[in-house]
Amino acid sequence: MTRARAQLIQGKLNDLHPTQITVGKAEVALKRKSWEGLGKKERSAMLESHWFPTILGPNEQHYIVDHHHFGLALLEEGVKNVWLMVLKDLSWLEQRVFWNVMNHHQWVHPYDADGVSRDFDVIPPHIEKLQDDPYRSLAGEVRCAGGYAKDATPFSEFLWADFFRTRISVDRIENEFHKALAKGIKLARTQEARYLPGWSGVFESK
């Protein structure tokens, strides 16, 4: 890693460590398509403005706490270097304590493609090893379609993914995505979803 300017450093994308187990591969594909449509200057500008927030962990390794989908898309597009913003230096902690601190600050989401909590050592060592969760793709598309609002709550889309997980079949997501999306948007505005971050429905009067 080479220091480039105040607060920001440049790092190799393939060296970054994820803090989650899954991504929505459909969302990654959309980000790749968007990247492919940019010119050289536009790509450079995007990389300058979309820095990756990281926590410096044991062995001086950088753990990204956001932009996993963008990172995987860039990696698949052959991008090698990105800008990092180091939020906190926890490199002096023992590995077990490090993960406990990460969990306390909601900087890690160790849930698999079935929405089941796993041990921290199940988290892939590299971005390219992230698993696909179709429900995370659905949750992202429902938000983009206006089903709910973007929210600062950490890993909020995964909460929505779990909401849809018990209400929409994976077969429908994989084979009839447009129907799954329509149902997801409708479900997102129901009273059942009012506990979720970014809920945009209407409270029923009693």
pLDDT band for position 37 (50/70/90)?
very high
Residues 16 and 58 in one domain: yes
Q: pLDDT > 70: what percent of the chain?
A: 95
The residue-averaged pLDDT of 46-69 equals: 95
Structural domains in the chain (count)? 2
Confidence of residue 2 (pLDDT cuts 50, 70, 90): very low
Residue 4 has what pLDDT?
41
Question: Residue 28 sits in a domain of what CATH number?
Answer: 3.90.1530.10
Burial 151-183 (b: 16+ CB within 10 A, else e): eeebbbbbbbbbbbbeebebebbeeebeebbeb
Q: Report how many helices (DSSP H) and strands (DSSP E) the chain contains, helices first.
A: 8, 7
- Are 151 and 98 contained in the same domain? no
pLDDT-above-90 percentage for the chain: 91
pLDDT reading at 179 higher than 80 = yes
Per the domain annotation, does 202 fall within a domain?
Answer: no
pTM exceeding the 0.85 threshold for the entire prediction: yes
Whole-Å CA distances, 157 to 43, 135, 143, 152, 186? 26, 9, 8, 10, 16
Q: Is the pLDDT of residue 203 over 80?
A: no
Q: Distance between CA 160 and CA 9 in Å, rounded?
A: 33
pLDDT at 72: 97
Examine residue 204 and state whether it is found in any structural domain, yes or no: no
Average pLDDT, the chain: 93
pLDDT digits 0-9 by tens, 130-140: 999 999 999 99
The per-residue pLDDT for range 113-155, each reduced to its tens digit, is 999 999 999 999 999 999 999 999 999 999 999 999 998 888 9
At residue 65's C-alpha, the angle toward residues 9 and 78, to 5°, is 60
What whole-number distance in Å separates Cα of residue 116 and Cα of residue 201?
27
What the block records as the tokens of 196 is 């979720």
Answer whether residue 5 shows pLDDT above 60: no
Q: For residue 22, what are the domain limits?
A: 2-132
Query: In this structure, are 122 and 162 located in the same domain?
Result: no
Single residue among 80, 101, 132 that ends a domain in this structure: 132
Per-residue pLDDT tens digits for 93-108: 999 999 999 999 999 9
**What pLDDT is stored for residue 55 in this prediction?**
96
| Helix (H), strand (E) at residue 171 | helix 170-175
Judge whether 174 lies within some domain: yes
- What tokens were used for 98? 């490090």
Position 201 scores a pLDDT of: 84
Whether 124 is covered by a domain: the verdict is yes
Asked if residue 39 and residue 77 are part of one domain, the reply reads yes
Burial class (CB in 10 A: 0-12, 13-18, 19+), 203: exposed
Predicted confidence at residue 152, as pLDDT, reads 87
Q: How far apart are CA 127 and CA 22, in angstroms?
A: 10
Reference 193, options 159, 145, 144; nearest CA is 159
